[in-house]
Amino acid sequence: MKLLKLKPYLKKSKKYNNGNSPIYISLIKDRKQALISVGHAVPAEAWNELEGRVYETKPRITAIQKGTYTTGELEMYRKQYSKAKVLNNAKTINREIENKLAELTLLQTNERATHGRLDTKSIKKKFDLNPNLDRSKNFLIYADKLQDNLLQVGKIGTYKRYKTVLKRLKEYVKDKPLPFQDITYQFLNEYENHLIIKKLKTNSVHNHFKTIRAIYNESVKEEIIPQDKNPFVKFKLKKEITSKKEKLNTEEIKKIESLDLVKGSLLWDCRNYFIFSFNLGGIRIGDLLKLKWNNITPDGRLDYYMAKTGGFRSVIISDKAREILSEYFIETADTSSFIFPMLDSEMNYDDPLTLFNQVSAKTALVNKYLKKIAAKAEIKKNLTTHIARHSFSDIARKKKVSIHDIKNILGHSSIKITEGYMSNFDLESQDKAMVDTLNF
């Protein structure tokens, strides 16, 4: 008795909002078909139709193809290959395809030996019900899929956080399967103790469990696990310890502005980035470095989408910010080129992970030079790009700007976030309250 024909294929007729299509394993026998989801979706340009896999390297015309195909066919492949995409998680996806094929082949072999019959419907049913093969019941595999989805939609910061958290969790369970039902209140307590013994700080422990909880809650939303089995109903995360938010006052800002720096030097550039950020209501460095000339509107505003939240932000360009922009303006510059010269406008940043890594590297460089700027200005604070945001918030608060307006300028989604963000700024008011209370 022959085994079912197994074939990986991309279902291009089905497309998600991001343009990707799902990958399936097709089971065919006696003209009947069943589909097993691989759990990944990719753009059509990433799919190698001949191999039934995603491209792991950029494809090229081989010597065999040159000797086999007609000129027209070769031209067709050249066009196809020129559009081919290589995904960062290509090896992971292909390994998942191969695992599915191996599991289905083994299941068929066992089924044929035990029952002496094979059909697409029964094999799919047994595959879906087998706890050893049902990958949706394994928390770690489910989490890996969510992690890959984050990469595909460009949420790189969250993707990297998931990767760090899951790596440590996998080490704890020694890379063994972790069924959802094993994640109990007791398991979470034991894992928390393990992280504390490993000397992780309170905030780090909090962030690890916050991520695990987010993954678990997503599985509840997808109805993989019922809400009444959710251990996070009882398990409470350790409270985050509020850290001191460094900030500059107006005099310190003026000191940085008045430094005599060589025009065109990296110190001069980094000073400009910091002052520009401060004058644009604390625009984050990751967003600042990616600004292009087409982000500037004809009516003198800066419109952009924040990488951290995805929210839209529109802010008026102040006079000082406009002066800084004039230093970088080139008459012949393309509107789609970067305003500031840290990222190469000629480089292809279609891959969000490549862009994220470049921005991270450049941010580290800017922060390194801000330390030198602080020393030159005789400011004894750990100057970083984010302090521009803290400084703007604190100075706005002292000038009695409403918290509603500060919220909108910072791009926060709620007043509560802004209140938490600024909670340790108002030390002067706190000190005065203490002195007044004790003055009797």
Q: What is the 3-state secondary structure (H, E, C) of the chain?
A: CCCCEEEEEECCCCCCCCCCEEEEEEEEECCEEEEEEEEEEECHHHEECCCCEECCCCCCCCHHHHHHCCHHHHHHHHHHHHCCCCCCCHHHHHHHHHHHHHHHHHHHHHHHHHHCCCCHHHHHHHHHHCCCCCHHHEHHHHHHHHHHHHHHCCCHHHHHHHHHHHHHHHHHCCCCCCEHHHCCHHHHHHHHHHHHHCCCCHHHHHHHHHHHHHHHHHHHHCCCCCHHHCHHHCCCCCCCCCCCCCCCCHHHHHHHHCCCCCCCCHHHHHHHHHHHHHHCCCCCHHHHHCCEHHHECCCCEEEEECCCCCCEEEEECCHHHHHHHHHHCCCCCCCCCECCCCCCCCCCCCCHHHHHHHHHHHHHHHHHHHHHHHHHCCCCCCCCCCHHHHHHHHHHHHCCCCHHHHHHHHCCCCHHHHHHHCCCCCHHHHHHHHHHHHCC
In this structure, what CATH number is given to the domain that contains residue 387? 1.10.443.10
254 and 386 together in one domain: yes
276 and 400 together in one domain: yes
259 and 403 together in one domain: yes
In this structure, what CATH number is given to the domain that contains residue 205? 1.10.150.130
What mean pLDDT do residues 380-391 have? 91
108 and 194 together in one domain: no
The answer, yes or no, to whether residue 361 has pLDDT greater than 90, is yes
293 and 219 together in one domain: no
The verdict on residue 238 lying in a domain is no
338 and 225 together in one domain: no
105 and 150 together in one domain: no
What mean pLDDT do residues 120-134 have? 65
173 and 291 together in one domain: no
117 and 20 together in one domain: yes
The verdict on residue 239 lying in a domain is no
The verdict on residue 178 lying in a domain is yes
The verdict on residue 343 lying in a domain is yes
Number of structural domains in the chain? 3
What mean pLDDT do residues 230-244 have? 81
Q: In percent, how much of the chain has pLDDT > 90?
A: 39
pLDDT band, very low/low/confident/very high, at 130 (cuts 50, 70, 90): low
Q: Which residue has the higher pLDDT, 100 or 196?
A: 196
The verdict on residue 244 lying in a domain is no
What mean pLDDT do residues 387-395 have? 88
Max mean pLDDT among 133-137, 153-157, 251-255 falls in 251-255
pLDDT band, very low/low/confident/very high, at 297 (cuts 50, 70, 90): very high
Residue 394's pLDDT is what?
Answer: 84
The answer, yes or no, to whether residue 433 has pLDDT greater than 70, is no
275 and 411 together in one domain: yes
Q: Which residue has the higher pLDDT, 51 or 132?
A: 51
Domain that holds residue 394: 250-432
The verdict on residue 440 lying in a domain is no
141 and 126 together in one domain: no
200 and 269 together in one domain: no
pLDDT band, very low/low/confident/very high, at 95 (cuts 50, 70, 90): confident
What mean pLDDT do residues 52-77 have? 85
The verdict on residue 243 lying in a domain is no
pLDDT tens, position by position, 8-39: 999 999 887 778 888 999 988 888 888 888 87
